[in-house]
A and B are shown apart, each in its own frame.
Chain A
Amino acid sequence: MNGVHDVGGKHGFGTVTTEEQEPVFHGQWERDVFSVIGLYFAAGLCPLDEFRHSIEVMDPAEYLSTPYYVHWLRAAENLGFWNDLFTPEELEARITELESNEKEGL
């Protein structure tokens, strides 16, 4: 698949930025995303090719403009749908629910 993820040899991304004493995770949201994919792996829900595919079908503009763990977030959603763990409607409903809980300070 000759998608946007195939960045080898492409120009224009700029210099490499490294971090001294880089933490494994840069925030709780990264831990949360990692934990879901980690359990998908452990449960055998996503052979690697399928995992990669679930990222490669991302919107190309979002792929390039978001940090790495957003790619995994989309993988967690796509693999959830494909394996019938939850539906897109259930996910949207749960997001709305959590959002309104947050607003009400619950």
Chain B
Amino acid sequence: MEQITSSDGYTQPPPYAALRVKAIQSLLVDKGLVVEDALNEVVDLYENRIGPKDGAAVIARAWAEPEFRQQLLDDGTGTLAELGMTGFEGAHVVFVENTDTVHNVVVCTLCSCYPWAVLGLPPAWYKAPQYRSRAVMEPRDVLQEFGTFVPDDKEVRVWDSTAEIRYIVIPERPAGTEDLTVEQLAELVNRDSMIGTRLATPRQEAIA
């Protein structure tokens, strides 16, 4: 089918965007409402410090420790808080687990709700209307565009995030990884596998 919208994930700004935000920043700084360092700091936090590696460490531990896995499933928000993973967005986090009969996938149809404190900021496709509109309507087709084929006899569950509740998928642990350490397991947990659009990375692809 011919594509109607731009295919660049909607990242090219219209001409007015850069100037308007510079004007807002400069007003806020001149009025003494913010300091420039704080603007840079919040960017640095989410660009360089918090990211999918944080979530990957949690998932790897859940694979290795059944008790911890159960804790995450029972009380995601509380368990993350114990690990110091709370964010601005301050929402509840619910973990859902993939099994041999269920595949979970997460979307935010209304906007872009996402567990920042655990995964960092969402990728552009997660925030674009292509994914948001179709993930709830034809999830298997969308998953195939990510190269993820879920067999017909496996149930697909789609979780629509809200401002109050965000979801994280615990992907299935890849086969043949019994001897790996938690740190090595974390290498197999790619960002998309925690959103549910991909599976965890097979061992041979991750540890070359």
Q: Which residues of A contact B (CB under 8 A)?
A: 5-19, 22, 24-36, 38-39, 41-42, 48-49, 52, 55, 64, 66-71, 73, 76-77, 80, 85-86, 90-91, 94-95, 97-99, 102
Contacts and interface: CB of A to CB of B under 8 A. Distances in A.
B206 interface: no
A25 to B, nearest CB: 6
B17 A29 contact: yes
Contact of A68 (B43, B91, B128): B128
B25 A52 contact: no
A63 to B, nearest CB: 9
22 contacts: A5-B110, A6-B109, A7-B129, A8-B136, A9-B109, A15-B3, A16-B128, A16-B146, A17-B9, A18-B9, A19-B124, A22-B124, A25-B43, A26-B124, A32-B21, A39-B28, A41-B88, A68-B11, A80-B27, A80-B28, A91-B27, A95-B19
Interface in B116-151: 120-121, 123-125, 127-134, 136-137, 142, 145-146
B111 A28 contact: no
Given A38-B88, A99-B19, A48 B26 contact: no
Contacts of B128: 13, 16-17, 68
Interface string B157-168: 000100110000
B83 interface: no
B interface, how many residues as a size bin? 35 or more
A-B pairs with lowest CB-CB distance, top 5:
A8-B109, A38-B42, A35-B39, A48-B163, A41-B88
Contacts of B175: none
Interface of B: 1, 3-5, 7-14, 17-28, 31, 33-34, 38-40, 42-43, 45-47, 51, 88-91, 107, 109-112, 120-121, 123-125, 127-134, 136-137, 142, 145-146, 160, 163-164
Nearest to B40: A35
B125 A95 contact: no
B129 A17 contact: no
Given A7-B133, A8-B109, A68-B112, 14 more contacts: A11-B137, A15-B145, A16-B145, A17-B9, A18-B146, A24-B51, A29-B13, A32-B25, A35-B25, A39-B38, A39-B42, A66-B13, A67-B10, A70-B14
Contact of A39 (B39, B123, B146): B39
B135 to A, nearest CB: 8
B74 to A, nearest CB: 24
